Amino acid sequence: MKTYRIFTYLFMFAAITFSCDELDELTEFDVSGSFNSTIDVNLTDDSEGEPVTLTETAAIDISSNPDIADNLNLIQNVTITALTFEIDNYVGAEDVTITDASISFGDSSINISDIVLKTADDGNIVYEVEDASQLNAIGDFLENNPVLNVTLMGTISATPALFDVIINLDTTVTIDAI
């Protein structure tokens, strides 16, 4: 009889443990979203061939998605499924290059190799960030901060130079309703 009681308690413990995990999974849902932002670089003064340092900022707000906005305090996880950027609408000399460049996403900084701006714009080159640790750090930041400041820093070989840096961030946000 004592053995039967022990098995009963073990069975009940196992049933409760497994059902809680299954219940937790039933209360979670994913919201996928694509968020875009544009950094406008507008260096109109003529540097007479001298390099110019630039720092420009924009923001990405994942709460612009209504499903995310309604559940900001219930976000369990943010996974970055893709992060890309491209140069667009370039106006300036053909050989102007951005060097020593980086794009910061919150606390994460991503170094960028030298880019010839006209070539990148004319070729519609899309640069993809693939470093998993950087993508995870950005996702971790977004779990508690719906607005992500994006900062482009670097050196332009000459001005005037006008262009846009279009940032695209694809995410899957896991929300736990309970």
Looking at the domain assignment, is residue 2 inside a domain? no
Residue 4 lies in a domain: no
Q: What is the tens place of the pLDDT at every residue in 31-76?
A: 999 999 999 999 999 999 999 999 999 999 999 999 999 999 999 9
The answer to whether residue 141 sits within a structural domain is yes
How many Cβ atoms from other residues are within 10 Å of residue 112's Cβ? 18
Q: Which of 65, 156, 145 is nearest to 105 (CA)?
A: 145
Task: Please report whether residue 3 resides in a domain.
Answer: no
Per-residue model confidence (pLDDT) at position 162: 97
Our count of domains for the chain comes to: 1
pLDDT > 50? residue 23:
no
- Kindly report, residue by residue over 145-159, the tens digit of the pLDDT: 999 999 999 999 999
Q: Does residue 9 form part of some domain?
A: no
pLDDT at 20 over 80: no
Could you read off the pLDDT of 100-136 as tens digits, one per residue? 999 999 889 999 999 999 999 999 999 999 999 999 9
Q: What is the per-residue pLDDT for 8?
A: 63
List beta partners, residue 40: 164
Q: How many percent of the chain have pLDDT more than 90?
A: 81
Please check whether residue 125 lies inside any domain of the structure.
Answer: yes
For 20, phi and psi rounded to 5 degrees? -65, -40
Per-residue pLDDT tens for 59-68? 999 999 999 9
Q: Cα(11)–Cα(132) distance, rounded to whole angstroms?
A: 41
Query: Between 9 and 81, whose confidence is greater?
Result: 81
Domain containing 54 equals: 29-176
Residue 73 sits in a domain whose CATH number is 2.60.120
> Residue 65: phi, psi to the nearest 5?
-85, 120
Looking at every residue in the chain, the average pLDDT score rounds to 90
Burial string for 137-167 (b: 16+ CB within 10 Å, else e) reads: bbbbbbeeebebebbbbbebbbbbbebbbbb
**Within-domain flag for 132:** yes
